[in-house]
Amino acid sequence: MAVPIGPVTTISKNKLKTMLDSSLEFENDWRDEFKNSFRSTHKLHQFLGFEIPKTDYPLFIPVRLALKIKELGQQSSLWKQFVPSTLENEDKGLVDPIGDLVHSKPGQLIHRYQNRALFMPTNICPVLCRYCFRKNELFNEKELFEANLVETQKYLLEHSEINEIIFSGGDPFILSDEKLASYIDFFASIKSIKHLRFHTRIPVILPSRINQPLLEVLKKSSGHFETISIAIHSNHVDEWDQEIETAIMKLNRLGLQLLSQTVLLKDVNNTAQDIVNLMNKLVKNKIRPYYLHHPDSVKGGMHFMVPLEEGRKIYSELRDQLPGWAIPQYIIDRPDGRGKLPAFNPESFNFSGQFI
């Protein structure tokens, strides 16, 4: 599988396609691609040619992403986001940095805001991000990911103020088409649910998953809700290529609302130019910039932390280079679980260290 690739600073779309066509040893099906991902430090070491440290957290990188990582090298935004680091073993940070467990409810729900709730149908992702705020929770199914639709239905019927369900996890688009359709039908049967939202990494990590069967599921579902939104997680333009843009175009043709979410990460995208470049890429692909997350204080990911003062300075520069409608909301999740706060303070870049 290994391909001799010399160190360069950028990767062309044509070169990536050639590399993929000559390197993947499985059929063009997203499930095969997912199954053949790198899961061991030994195999990733053999492929990348660098020693990969062992950490307390699993490793999972699809081959098409590993090819990009190899091409762009150790100092790239991709390497730092997805390749394990010894810094993950530092005993700093919080196991549950945004208070998921405080607001977990029967079934697979997290009810933090009055009118909406997270639904957690899976703990599986198309890639394991080294900064993930749930990296300590994803492998503890009893607390967040234990399926119980009877309890879920009971809770939602008792809380009719909830009108939006947000599929999170894990990545909801990693589910089979049949399973995803069954969950969507389940929520369509509850009259108070008017809106669905999917938070996903799939389009920029495993674009082959955006296939016709999935599109048909989403198209069919759109008639049962007032809105269906897809919040696409992307942190850097280096993640993008032509196949990804084609996948996004397919989603756009469905007429769904495409949103973005991005995490501000040290040595990955913590410059105004990084964020501007990404927002321009999103807008070009008809994705509305939605959230710019300040990094969470997660155990195993504290080396990605950016001081809030620095984040505010970066954010303050965006208005000079982007129109207002292309600027995401800069937000921070409170560690007590009470939800998001605006992170930008136009009067001061300083932070008191306290949340109201």
Q: What is the pTM of this model?
A: 0.89
Single out the residue in 27, 57, 89 at which a domain terminates: 89
- Amino acid letter for position 299: K
Percentage of the chain lying above the pLDDT 70 cut? 88
Residues 106 and 241 in one domain: yes
Residues 20 and 132 in one domain: no
Residues 201 and 312 in one domain: yes
Q: What is the mean pLDDT of the chain?
A: 90
Residues 36 and 185 in one domain: no
Q: Which is higher by pLDDT, 256 or 140?
A: 256
The verdict on residue 79 lying in a domain is yes
Residues 118 and 196 in one domain: yes
Residues 224 and 335 in one domain: yes
Residue 20 scores a pLDDT above 60: no
Band (145; pLDDT cuts 50, 70, 90): low
Give the span between the Cα atoms of 343 and 337, in whole angstroms. Answer: 16
Structural domain including 276 reads: 101-342
Comparing 3-17, 37-51, 197-211, 284-298, which segment has the lowest mean pLDDT? 3-17
Counting the structural domains of the chain, the total is 2
* Residue for token pair 């990767």: 11
Mean pLDDT (whole number) for 268-295: 98
Give strand pairing partners of 164: 116, 195
pLDDT in tens, 82-116: 999 999 999 999 999 898 888 889 888 999 999 99
Single out the residue in 65, 89, 113 at which a domain terminates: 89
pLDDT of residue 24: 46
Residues 70 and 156 in one domain: no
Single out the residue in 66, 89, 112 at which a domain terminates: 89
Residues 177 and 321 in one domain: yes
Residues 155 and 74 in one domain: no
pLDDT of residue 14: 55
Cα–Cα nearest to 122, from 165, 164, 174, 166:
174
Crossing angle of helices 63-72/41-48, nearest 10°?
50
